Amino acid sequence: MRRNLTAYGFLCAALFCFTVFAWYPMVREFILSFQKTDLINPPTWVGLDNFKAAVQDPAFGEAWLNTVEFTVLALLCGYAVPFVVALVLNELRHARAYLRFVVYLPVMLPPIVAVLLFQWFYDPGPGLFNQILGFFHLPPLAWLDSSSTALISLVLVSTWMNMGSATLIYLAALQNIPPELYEAAELDGAGILKRVRHVTIPQTRLILLLMLMLQIVATMQVFIEPYMLTGGGPENATVSVAYLMYQFAFSQMNYGQAGALGMLLMLALLLFAAIQLRATREDRA
Amino acid sequence: MRRSTGLLLVSVIGVSATACGSSEAPSSSAPNSVTITVACQPAKSAPKERQAWDADVAEFMKAHPGVTVKSTDQQPCFDPKTFGPKLAGGQMETVFVVPVTNYNDVIAQGQALDVTPYTSTIKNWNDLRPDVRELVTKDGKVYGVPNVHYSVGLVYNRALFTKAGLDPDTPPKTWAEVREAAKKITALGPGFVGYGEYSGGNTGGWHFTQAIYGRGGAILTPDNKKAAFNSPEGKAVLQNLHDMRWTDNSMGSKLLVGWESLMMAMGSGKVGMMLGAPDVVTDVVNKFKGNVADYGITGFPEAKASLSGGEAYMINPKATPEQAKAGMAWIDFRFNTVGKGRFDFARGKAIGNPVGVPDNDVYGDSATGKALQAERVKNASLPVTNYEPYVQAAVTVPPKAEPVHAQELYAILDVVMSGVLSRKDASIDELLADAETKANTMLAAKG
């Protein structure tokens, strides 16, 4: 017992943090989603009214569609690109540390700074991206100011801000692959694509699956990009579930409705995580 | 992306943890003494204004023995994101400010004290404009003391007018004139925008409301049960914007989301005109480094009514009667007395504040209102003639309050505004019909 005292101490600290900052808010949010409250007077129980109101909100359907679309696009960019970058970094013999630093640099920028940077990049007038297009005699794009390009523009910001962490995780996984596997594959005449397919991907499968789940869970909660760059527009093209939740709570002061929407999002993510875990387990068995 | 998770978690904690926070109001230490906390002390980055505030606090406490005033300097004074959690968590000041856009929500949710028994503490109470007092009154009970009120006008850059060959002393009076002036300003070169307008973050819907009120239209039917903006007036607002954006190209190509976006553009000196109240001039000069001599304000073009703007001070619903009384005395002293606090224009001029903008007609043409106006003109540090067209026009335009469920409606109307300003082929009829359906669904759900 005494020998494990330090371990119990760390465990208690972790349990305390989880209880206060994760589990208790979840329980409170669950309760809140069935209540009408002004945060002053005692709350009243309203059954499923908050859920009904959230579902009936004019932006509810658009928010879910946008969120799913954002998640799919973010996966295409944010899942594949860091893996490819990690592969390239892993193959490099020179300047690897420097390039690793460069790739990770955006993660070290405060998100607000990164988003404001892109606000300037996307500016239809003097913005960097349109300047580049102009340099190649291409017509300017509306980027954030058109409902057809706004969402993908947010995906680019998100990918740029977050790919550093994913790349480093993939790189760590790649560096754990025993080199003799590659040597054997090379002796068998496998080219780079075959080595990736038959050695790298199977060896990093667990990390890839874990990152897939983490990225979906994270991207489904996209908030800061629409909040800072588009305000959900134009024409609700970038309103996300998390942004709508924010609108309910802090613009309309409808905390119960925000809680209900939060519960729906949590349920959707739990469902996805359960399916994914089950599939992984079956796959392993 | 993990950072947005963190942000959400913080939001949830903010909402949920505070929901069961302390219910204690700021305490009083002894029966004869009372302590109140008051919001809106200027930030440390504005040392002269802060010093003036502190001097007012000292003077007030000297005049009211037993009352201790503690100031808070959160900026902005009113933040809807933290308002509810602060109240629930016992962190809300005894005296706090609420902008007119949030009166309905705050009063309806019981987040302000009924101060009807204390209105006699405000010595000029009866001089306050009755229609402005009405905005803080519900079911015969008073929930706040208005101290700022203004109506909408057309803020314009006089320097750009001159540069574009327009006469800054005869600003546009009609929308057709606005359109012509915008074209000339845009023709000054790349980066110049004739007319600026919002399209997102609820500001698009807010300005659509301003514009449709100006044309004599309405957002809701008189019984507040149905949307009324799908009307000839609503269509006229959007058609005008669409034509300026896509036919004249006089509105720039960037969608403006959130209050700061247009203010920043206006402060840059490259935007010719925008709808706004006189406080826009003050903010553009103070916060966005605009050149004070460049800005003027004139009457709301062709206006038949004007969306009310302004703010009121309210009292924490958890305040004790002693605190409420002391809080009202503070409001009276600092925000409603000619020659004191906010209305000490001589001091304002001495410390370099922009004095002279007609940004407050909360007292109308009552004796107090006239005294205030005389003081303002006497101590003006700004070119008051630049604002004269607005002063003359504003008195002829009746004020109109915000619609109920304003924020929900503004979110719906943002879509209409961003549609017109982002798509050349946008169908105004379809946009309005779609928004009308959404608004009616929302209104039916709200009961």
Q: What is the DSSP string of B4-32?
A: HHHHHHHHHHHHHHHHTS--PPPP-SBTT
Separation CA A138–CA A143 (nearest Å): 14
Write phi, then psi, for B97 (nearest 5 degrees).
Answer: -105, 145
Who contacts B247 (Cβ-Cβ below 8 Å, separation ≥6)?
none
Per-residue confidence (pLDDT) for residue A154, from 0 to 100: 95
Q: If you average pLDDT over residues B273-299, what whole number do you get?
A: 88
Question: Strands B153-157 and B295-299, how do they pair?
Answer: antiparallel
Chain B environment of A158 (Cβ under 8 Å): 1
* Chain B residues 8-47 with a CB less than 8 Å from chain A: 8-9, 11-13, 15-20
Per-residue confidence (pLDDT) for residue B14, from 0 to 100: 43
Per-residue confidence (pLDDT) for residue A124, from 0 to 100: 85
Optimal mutation site among A41, A240, A250, interface B, most CBs of chain B within 10 A: A250
Q: Which bin fits B394, alpha (ψ -120 to 50), beta or left (φ > 0)?
A: alpha
* Chain B residues 288-317 with a CB less than 8 Å from chain A: 317
| pLDDT of B5 above 80 | no
Closest CA to B93 of B412, B298, B326, B266: B326
Chain B environment of A215 (Cβ under 8 Å): 1
Ranges A184-188, A263-267, B23-27: which has the least confidence: B23-27
pLDDT band at A244 (very low <50, low <70, confident <90, very high): very high
Record: contact A218-B252, CB cut-off 8 A: no
Rg value, chain B, Cα: 22
Separation CA B55–CA B80 (nearest Å): 29
Q: For chain A, which residues make up each domain, given as ranges?
A: 49-284
| pLDDT of B332 above 90 | yes
| pLDDT of B30 above 50 | no
Rg value, chain A, Cα: 23
DSSP A200-232: IHHHTHHHHHHHHHHHHHHHTT--HHIIIIITT
Separation CA A100–CA A174 (nearest Å): 14
Q: Which strands, in side-by-side order, build the sheet including B145-150?
A: B67-71, B34-38, B95-99, B309-315, B145-150
Q: How far is CA A273 from the centre of its chain?
A: 14
- The encoded tokens of residue A82 equal 């860091």
Count of CB atoms within 10 A of residue B403's CB? Answer: 23
Separation CA B281–CA B295 (nearest Å): 7
Record: contact B3-A224, CB cut-off 8 A: yes
Is A259 within 8 Å of A50 (Cβ atoms)? yes
What single-letter amino acid sits at A163?
M
| pLDDT of B258 above 90 | no
Q: If you average pLDDT over residues B136-160, what whole number do you get?
A: 94
In terms of CATH architecture, what is B153-307+405-446? Answer: 3-Layer(aba) Sandwich (3.40)
ipTM above 0.90 for this complex = no
| pLDDT of B146 above 70 | yes
Q: If you average pLDDT over residues A50-57, what whole number do you get?
A: 93
Q: If you average pLDDT over residues B3-24, what whole number do you get?
A: 41
- Percent of chain B at pLDDT > 70 equals 93
| pLDDT of B387 above 60 | yes
- Name the closest residue on chain A to residue B10, using Cα atoms: A21
Record: contact A58-B110, CB cut-off 8 A: no
Per-residue confidence (pLDDT) for residue B32, from 0 to 100: 67
Per-residue confidence (pLDDT) for residue B54, from 0 to 100: 96
Distance in Å, alpha carbon of A209 to nearest chain B alpha carbon: 17
Separation CA A130–CA B253 (nearest Å): 12
Distance in Å, alpha carbon of A197 to nearest chain B alpha carbon: 28
Per-residue confidence (pLDDT) for residue A285, from 0 to 100: 60
Q: Is B101 on the interface with A (CB under 8 A)?
A: no
pLDDT band at A195 (very low <50, low <70, confident <90, very high): confident
pLDDT band at B38 (very low <50, low <70, confident <90, very high): very high
pLDDT band at A284 (very low <50, low <70, confident <90, very high): low
Q: If you average pLDDT over residues A83-109, what whole number do you get?
A: 86
Record: contact B85-A252, CB cut-off 8 A: no
Q: Name the residue facing A145 among B4, B422, B442 (closest C-beta).
A: B422
Chain A environment of B264 (Cβ under 8 Å): none
CA angle at residue A9 from A8 to A12, to 5 degrees? 80
What pTM, to 2 d.p., does this model score? 0.83
- Name the closest residue on chain B to residue A32, using Cα atoms: B16
| pLDDT of A235 above 60 | yes
Optimal mutation site among A19, A71, A240, A253, interface B, most CBs of chain B within 10 A: A253
- The encoded tokens of residue A285 equal 């068995």
Record: contact A222-B16, CB cut-off 8 A: no
Q: How far is CA B48 from the centre of its chain?
A: 24
* Chain B residues 255-284 with a CB less than 8 Å from chain A: 255, 257-258
Question: Strands B153-157 and B271-276, how do they pair?
Answer: antiparallel
Separation CA B8–CA B306 (nearest Å): 38
Record: contact A57-B442, CB cut-off 8 A: yes
* Chain B residues 180-239 with a CB less than 8 Å from chain A: 190-191, 199-202, 204
| pLDDT of B402 above 50 | yes
| pLDDT of B24 above 60 | no
Q: What share of chain A is helix, strand, coil (3-state, %, to 5)?
A: 75, 0, 25
Q: If you average pLDDT over residues B333-343, what whole number do you get?
A: 92
Q: Which contiguous run of DSSP H or E holds residue B58?
A: helix B47-63
* Chain B residues 380-409 with a CB less than 8 Å from chain A: 405, 407-408
- Percent of chain A at pLDDT > 90 equals 51
Per-residue confidence (pLDDT) for residue B7, from 0 to 100: 40
Is A53 within 8 Å of A249 (Cβ atoms)? no
Closest CA to B431 of B204, B225, B249, B197: B204
Ranges B45-54, B193-202, B209-218, B285-294: which has the least confidence: B285-294
pLDDT band at A237 (very low <50, low <70, confident <90, very high): very high
Record: contact A230-B13, CB cut-off 8 A: no
Q: If you average pLDDT over residues B24-39, what whole number do you get?
A: 68
Distance in Å, alpha carbon of B324 to nearest chain A alpha carbon: 17
Record: contact B19-A39, CB cut-off 8 A: yes
| Residue B92: C-alpha distances to residues B112, B151, B200, B316 (Å) | 11, 29, 29, 7
Separation CA B235–CA B229 (nearest Å): 8
CATH number of B25-149+309-384: 3.40.190.10
| pLDDT of A40 above 80 | no
Q: Domain spanning A49-284: which CATH class is it, in words? A: mainly alpha
Higher pLDDT pick, B372 / B446 = B372
Distance in Å, alpha carbon of A65 to nearest chain B alpha carbon: 16
Closest CA to B335 of B372, B366, B300: B372
| pLDDT of B125 above 70 | yes
B390, exposed or middle or buried, with CB in 10 Å at 0-12, 13-18, 19+? buried
Mean pLDDT of chain B: 88
Optimal mutation site among B4, B270, B427, B440, interface A, most CBs of chain A within 10 A: B4
Q: Which contiguous run of DSSP H or E holds residue A45?
A: strand A44-45
- The encoded tokens of residue A32 equal 């809140």
Per-residue confidence (pLDDT) for residue B447, from 0 to 100: 75
Is B358 within 8 Å of B280 (Cβ atoms)? no
pLDDT digits (tens, 9 = 90+) for B151-187: 899 999 999 999 999 999 999 999 999 999 999 999 9
- Percent of chain B at pLDDT > 90 equals 62
